[in-house]
Amino acid sequence: MAVVTGVIVANLNFIQPIENLIATDFDISKAAVGTLAMVTQLGYAFGLLLIVPLGDIFDRYHLIQFMMTLSIFSLLLAFWAPNAGVFAVATALVGITSVAPQIIIPYAGYLAPALQRGRVLGIVLSGLLTGILLSRSFSGLLGSIMPWQYIYLLAAGIDLIFLAIVHVQLPRDARGHQNLRYWSVIGMLPKLFTSQRALRGAAINGFCLFGMSNVLWSTLAFYLAATYHLGSNVAGLLGLLGIAGVLAAPMIGNLVDRRSPRLTITLSMALSGIAFVIFWVVGHWMIGLILGIILLDLGTQFSQVSNQAIVQSLNRQLSSRNNSVFMFSYFLGGSIGTLAATWAWTHAGWLGVCGVAAAFLVVALLGHWVIGEPEKLAVED
Residue 93, pLDDT score? 95
What contacts 320, CB < 8 A, 6 or more positions away? 52, 53, 54, 55, 56, 103, 106
Q: Is residue 321 part of a domain?
A: yes
How many domains does the chain contain in total?
1
* Helix runs in 27-59, H state only: 30-50
**CA distances (Å), origin 198, targets 75, 89, 144, 183, 254:** 36, 35, 44, 24, 19
Spatial CA neighbour of 292 closest among 279, 302, 280, 273 = 279
Q: Angle at which helices 149-169 and 60-80 pack, to 10 degrees?
A: 160
Contact predicate 133/17, CB 8 Å: no
Residue 381, pLDDT score? 46
Burial bucket for residue 187 (CB in 10 Å: 0-12, 13-18, 19+): exposed
Spatial CA neighbour of 37 closest among 22, 50, 54 = 22
Q: How do residues 15-49 score in pLDDT, each as one tens digit?
A: 877 888 888 888 888 778 878 877 887 888 888 88
Q: Please indicate, yes or no, whether the overall pTM of this predicted structure exceeds 0.85.
A: no
Q: Is residue 317 part of a domain?
A: yes
* Each residue's pLDDT expressed in tens, for the chain with a length of 381 residues: 899 999 999 998 888 778 888 888 888 887 788 788 778 878 888 888 888 888 878 888 889 999 999 999 999 999 999 998 999 999 999 999 999 998 888 888 777 777 777 778 778 877 887 887 788 778 888 888 889 999 999 999 999 999 999 999 888 876 767 777 888 888 888 999 999 999 999 999 999 999 999 999 888 888 888 888 887 677 767 877 777 777 777 778 778 877 888 899 999 999 999 999 999 999 889 999 999 999 998 999 889 889 988 887 887 778 778 888 898 898 889 889 988 998 999 899 999 999 999 999 999 999 999 998 887 776 554
Contact predicate 12/98, CB 8 Å: yes
Q: Is residue 241 part of a domain?
A: yes
**Which CATH number is 220's domain given?**
1.20.1250.20
Angle at 199 between CA 123 and CA 355, to 5 degrees: 85
Spatial CA neighbour of 90 closest among 73, 67, 65, 66 = 73
Q: Is residue 187 part of a domain?
A: no
**CA distances (Å), origin 49, targets 53, 188, 340, 380:** 7, 11, 22, 25
Spatial CA neighbour of 357 closest among 290, 272, 291 = 272
Residue 186, pLDDT score? 85
- Cα–Cα distance measured from residue 337 to residue 216, given in angstroms and rounded to the nearest whole number: 9
Q: Is residue 192 part of a domain?
A: no
Question: How far is C-alpha 252 from the chain's CA centre?
Answer: 17
Question: How far is C-alpha 283 from the chain's CA centre?
Answer: 24
> Long-range pairs for 155-158 at CB < 8 Å and ≥24 separation?
155/10, 155/11, 155/14, 155/75, 156/72, 156/75, 156/76, 156/79, 158/7
Q: Is residue 182 part of a domain?
A: no
Q: Is residue 364 part of a domain?
A: yes
Residue 8, pLDDT score? 93
Structural domain span for residue 158: 2-170+197-370
Q: Is residue 178 part of a domain?
A: no
* Helix runs in 117-188, H state only: 117-143, 149-169, 182-187
